[in-house]
Structure 1
Amino acid sequence: MGFFDFSGGGNMGFGSVKNVQNFTNEQLYEKLSAIKVSFGTPIMGDIFGTQSVMYKNATPYYDIFVRVHKDKIIMGKIGTDGTNSVGTAMQMESEVLLGSKDEESSYADRAVDELLEVIKKLENGEFVTITDQAMPANTTTGEPISLYMEQKLFSLKPRFDVFDQEKNVVFHVEGDITSHSFTIQQDGIEVLKLKRKIAKIMDEYVLVRNGETVAELKKKFRIINPEVSGTVNGAELRIAGDMMGIDYDIKIGGRTVAHVDQDKAHWSDCYRISIKDEDVQDIVIALAVICDHVSDKDSTWRH
């Protein structure tokens, strides 16, 4: 991906792919009907008379659509039936003006990204039956683990508490005053250390467990949205989505292991973290701290 990329993805709510397979809308509908996604099942519909494959009521506000347009396949979110178009437009406008999204809009944008990945695979001739997002979580219950990470205010050093839905503290994160080193603790015991390498043009980070490096990450320069990538236990790591707006997926080895966004019900910095792989909970927390640091630095630079 270059500095500027207008093909969609990254939680922008739209996407486009070159239609190299020359799919028709009917063929798209047939193929998508056989693929399980996380946001519903497709029907053949239309948008103002233009034939489209539709995922109705992906959220109370939005449908998801995909259709052939000239030599491309385009997809996006659109106000669902029964939703006032003016209200939907105002909601989208508020996202632009405020630079933030509500939970519904965030979910719809992620659904578009999920569909975009499916279409890319179909165009590459791959056989797809289920998306990564629709697969059961690797947890005891088979459901994602919901955690919240809140930064402690009025502290000289960066500090975060990570708690569950019952307000029980699960992890505690504490950094030094320079933000070069963080310790991730569970029950008062360090389970992971996060270190930021200094004297680097672009920020680099390492995660260390019991003296051994388990992850190496590097920030890449992007005009619109910063990017962090690297490896975790030898597997590729990718942060996919909007880091500046705090609405992104954490992917390890091609699988989505967590989603992070903001909990706007809190007046202080509080992130919602949905974890799909309980084996990497501490790593996910460390990555959320890294993304918080990167987005804070970029926000300061842009202003």
Structure 2
Amino acid sequence: MGFFDFSGGGNMGFGSVKNVKGFTNEDLFEKLSAIKVSFGTPIMGDIFGTQSVMYKNATPYYDIFVRVHKDKIIMGKIGTDGTDSTVTAAQMEAELIMGSKDEENSFADRAVDELLEVIKKLESGEYITITDEAMPANTATGEPISLYMEQKLFSLKPRFDVFDQEKNVVFHVEGDITSHSFTIQQDGREVLKLKRKIAKIMDEYVLVKNGETIAELKKKFRIVNPEVSGTVNGAELRIMGDLMGIDYDIKIGGRKVAHVDQDKAHWSDCYRISIKDEDVQDIVIALAVICDHVSDKDSTWRH
């Protein structure tokens, strides 16, 4: 994505695609009605008299829309019917001022990204009936696993506890005083080791399991927002979204396995982690630690 690329993606809450297929709004409604997404079903509606395909009440405060605009298809979030516009505007303003999002804003922005990927596939002629986000999670219940990662303050060494909704500690993460090496532990046993390579212009990381390197990652330089990518067990890894605002997706082999955002109810660094593949829980925790390190370094550099 270029510096002046306004095509959306990255959990920004808007998107646009060149309408190379010449779709009409009626075409979009027909095609989207046959595709299952994670945030509702479409209806044909309008925004202040402009015809649009709408996903009503994607969240209590937001609808998601998509429509043809000149030679493009545009999409985004908009305050839902019956919601005080001043409340919606205040939410967006707080998001900009605080530099991070509440859970509802994060969900709405990710819904727009999900829709953006669907429209891109339709424009490229791909056949799609369900998005990755709408598919059952690879867990015992078929639902994503909800975890929370909280950094322990007032410690010489970086330390994190990862707990479930009942406040049970599931993972413990502890680094050395230089933040070059971390151990990820489950039930008091090390399940993964994270190492940061020294003397590199751009940060590089490796994940080691049972003595073998299973992942190599590198931070990419970007003026607006850093990006981390690499490979995990031979599959492509991409961490996409807003690392600085702590609102990003983790994709392995082209499929989303987790989402991480910030829990503003806690005064210290506390991240919500939604995991769709329980087989990679330890890897997701390690990646969240990497992103915390990247965002902290970039925040310090910017100030």
> Normalised by the shorter chain, which TM-score bucket?
over 0.9
CA contact (8 A) 1:14 1:74 kept: yes
Change (3 A) 1:231 1:4: farther
Distance apart, 1:188 and its partner CA: 1.2
CA contact (8 A) 1:146 1:275 kept: yes
Once the two structures are superposed, residues 125-164 of structure 1 have per-residue CA deviations (whole angstroms, 9 ceiling, x without a partner) of: 0001000000000001111111111111111000001111
Distance apart, 1:98 and its partner CA: 1.6
Distance apart, 1:274 and its partner CA: 0.7
Q: Give the TM-score taking structure 2 as reference length.
A: 0.99
- What's the RMSD between the two structures over aligned residues? 0.8
Q: Distance in 2 between matches of 1:87 and 1:146?
A: 28
Correspondences of 1:1-303 after superposition (within 5 Å): 1-303=1-303
Distance apart, 1:166 and its partner CA: 1.2
Distance apart, 1:86 and its partner CA: 2.1
Q: 3-state SS of the aligned residue for 1:74?
A: strand
Once the two structures are superposed, residues 159-204 of structure 1 have per-residue CA deviations (whole angstroms, 9 ceiling, x without a partner) of: 0011111111111101011101101011111110000011111100
Between stretches 31-40 and 88-97, larger displacement belongs to 88-97
Distance apart, 1:233 and its partner CA: 0.5
CA contact (8 A) 2:194 2:208 kept: yes
Distance apart, 1:266 and its partner CA: 1.1
Q: 3-state SS of the aligned residue for 2:205?
A: strand
Between stretches 192-201 and 89-98, larger displacement belongs to 89-98
Q: 3-state SS of the aligned residue for 1:157?
A: coil
Q: Distance in 1 between matches of 2:91 and 2:285?
A: 31
Structure 2: where are the runs of 5+ without partners?
none
Aligned identity (percent) is 91
Q: 3-state SS of the aligned residue for 1:133?
A: coil
Q: Distance in 2 between matches of 1:4 and 1:277?
A: 35
CA contact (8 A) 1:207 1:215 kept: yes
Q: Distance in 1 between matches of 2:89 and 2:146?
A: 31
Q: Distance in 2 between matches of 1:47 and 1:292?
A: 39
CA contact (8 A) 2:102 2:263 kept: no
CA contact (8 A) 2:75 2:116 kept: yes
Q: Distance in 1 between matches of 2:91 and 2:282?
A: 35
Q: Give the TM-score taking structure 1 as reference length.
A: 0.99
Aligned residues: 303
Q: Distance in 1 between matches of 2:300 and 2:200?
A: 18
CA contact (8 A) 1:175 1:183 kept: yes
Distance apart, 1:20 and its partner CA: 0.6
Q: Distance in 2 between matches of 1:3 and 1:188?
A: 45
Distance apart, 1:3 and its partner CA: 3.8
Once the two structures are superposed, residues 87-106 of structure 1 have per-residue CA deviations (whole angstroms, 9 ceiling, x without a partner) of: 21122112111212111111
Distance apart, 1:211 and its partner CA: 1.0
**Runs of 4 or more off by more than 6 Å in structure 1?**
none
Distance apart, 1:5 and its partner CA: 2.4
Q: Distance in 1 between matches of 2:140 and 2:87?
A: 40
Between stretches 88-97 and 11-20, larger displacement belongs to 88-97
CA contact (8 A) 2:101 2:262 kept: no
Q: Distance in 1 between matches of 2:97 and 2:283?
A: 33
Q: 3-state SS of the aligned residue for 1:44?
A: strand
Once the two structures are superposed, residues 249-300 of structure 1 have per-residue CA deviations (whole angstroms, 9 ceiling, x without a partner) of: 1110111101111111111111111110000000000000000000000000
CA contact (8 A) 1:4 1:223 kept: no
CA contact (8 A) 1:4 1:224 kept: no
CA contact (8 A) 1:147 1:273 kept: yes
Q: 3-state SS of the aligned residue for 1:295?
A: helix
Q: Distance in 2 between matches of 1:39 and 1:134?
A: 8
Distance apart, 1:6 and its partner CA: 1.3
Once the two structures are superposed, residues 1-47 of structure 1 have per-residue CA deviations (whole angstroms, 9 ceiling, x without a partner) of: 23442110111100000001110000000000000000000000001
CA contact (8 A) 2:102 2:262 kept: no
Change (3 A) 1:114 1:275: same
CA contact (8 A) 2:149 2:163 kept: yes
Q: Distance in 1 between matches of 2:40 and 2:60?
A: 13
